[in-house]
A and B are shown apart, each in its own frame.
Chain A
Amino acid sequence: MATNRETPEVNAGSMADIAFLLLIFFLVTTTLETDEGLGRLLPKKEIEPRTIDVNERNVLRVNLNSTNELLVEDAVLDLKTLRKVAFDFLDNGGALPGESKYCDYCKGKRDDSSSDNPIDAIIALHHNRETTYGFYIAVQNELVGAYNDLRNREAQRLFKQSYVAMTEAYYDEKTPLIQKEKLKKRLKRIQKMYPQKIVEPEVFSNKRFDDEAQ
């Protein structure tokens, strides 16, 4: 008896249609989303607002007005130079050698009218209600950029690795635990050298900005 040895071929002609159907389903129900952003920690709510005494030279006042202009220490500044200004301010290290505030890793100009030590240096960011969000983010980005530049420099000097790369490795799930512990210590050390102090004060000590006089 003659048997048909050949297996019949499956008709794959409709495969494309099925795949298209699935493709269209996924196109419709999903979105491309971003999961990146600038992280910030808000200060705790306090019943009585705290006032702290800081030396005026340790504060860099950044003000954004309603027409999206950037004012640093009451002078208009181009956004492109903000990173440099913030970098110089933080890295200044104005305290003299021998003083308790002396900063031995700073490479700045050691100008006595600018910050004493990066640990004391505060950036006070103030914005108007009319400032647009995009501009605010751009300024925040530049300030964080200045901190990252400094931290990268120190990390490179001490551990031969950039700070940003170290943070990424720390948050990577594939990094083994032992290495994470090591990275954590290193990151803490760098963060202690250049602590990120960007404050958004509600009212300045002795100087009030006109839009806050309610």
Chain B
Amino acid sequence: MAKFAKKKDGDLPAVSTASLPDIVFMLLFFFMTVTTMKDSSIMVENTLPNASETKKLEKKDRIIYIFAGKPTQEYQKVYGTETRIQLNDKFANVNEVGSYILAERAKKPQQLQNVLTTALKVDKGANMGLISDIKQELRKVNALKVNYTTFEGDAFNNLQ
């Protein structure tokens, strides 16, 4: 008679966690590739509108960002709920846009100074009045290349 070791019923076999590091590394690499480093914390509400006929922005070092939108909850007590412009890490008035652009332009290497694009990251609920004021300021300092940054999507979603 063959002898069989009688299996003890009662304790479950341990789940192997040997592949857990692999899974986590996979996640890690995913996030490392699809995300970019934060360089400024956004203090305004910034739900970008959708558009389908978009063009990809060029290299990141050729872009100057301007944010606009309602201040987020924590800043509303101080700055109110009116649409504001954010330059770098602080709120700004329209007339500061020009000098900001000039300062940013001066920071870039010489050969890039003529090919800079200004990316407008504006909340979709903002009023156009402010945007046209910004545009007038940009024209004053000859920063004519503008990009309205959007999410890829159906433009009709913007109306809701």
Task: Using CB atoms and an 8 Å cutoff, list the residues of chain A in contact with chain B.
Answer: 12, 15-16, 19-20, 22-23, 26-27, 29-45, 64, 68, 79-80, 127-138, 140-142, 144-145, 148, 167, 171, 200
Contacts and interface: CB of A to CB of B under 8 A. Distances in A.
Given A36-B54, A137-B148, A138-B155, A30 B132 contact: no
Interface string B102-139: 00000000000000010100111111110110010011
Q: How large is the interface on B (under 10, 10 to 19, 20 to 34, 35 or more residues)?
A: 35 or more
Given A34-B150, A35-B57, A171-B56, A42 B49 contact: no
A34 B63 CA distance: 13
B125 A12 contact: no
Given A19-B25, A37-B57, A142-B155, A42 B52 contact: no
Contacts of A38: 51, 53-55, 147-148, 150
A138 B159 contact: yes
A39 B56 CA distance: 9
B38 to A, nearest CB: 5
B16 interface: no
Contact of B35 (A30, A40, A134): A30
Nearest to A146: B53
Contacts of B76: none
B28 A133 contact: no
A30 to B, nearest CB: 4
A34 B149 contact: yes
Contacts of B25: 19
A44 B139 contact: yes
A36 B150 contact: yes
B156 interface: yes
B49 A134 contact: yes
Contact of B158 (A127, A138, A148, A167): A138
A129 B125 CA distance: 13
B152 to A, nearest CB: 6
A115 B56 CA distance: 31
11 contacts: A33-B36, A36-B149, A37-B148, A39-B147, A42-B143, A43-B144, A44-B142, A127-B128, A137-B51, A137-B124, A142-B155
Nearest to B24: A19
A212 to B, nearest CB: 11
Given A129-B127, A141-B155, 13 more contacts: A12-B21, A19-B28, A30-B36, A34-B48, A35-B60, A36-B54, A36-B55, A38-B53, A38-B147, A42-B144, A43-B139, A44-B144, A135-B159
B63 to A, nearest CB: 9
A130 B127 contact: yes
A125 to B, nearest CB: 11
B92 interface: no
Contacts of A79: 156, 159
A144 B53 contact: yes
A117 to B, nearest CB: 23
A150 to B, nearest CB: 12
* Shortest beta-carbon contacts, A-B, top 4: A129-B129, A134-B124, A30-B35, A134-B158
B55 A138 contact: no
A135 B126 CA distance: 10
Contact of A133 (B17, B20, B131, B145): B131
Contact of A140 (B20, B37, B57, B148): B148
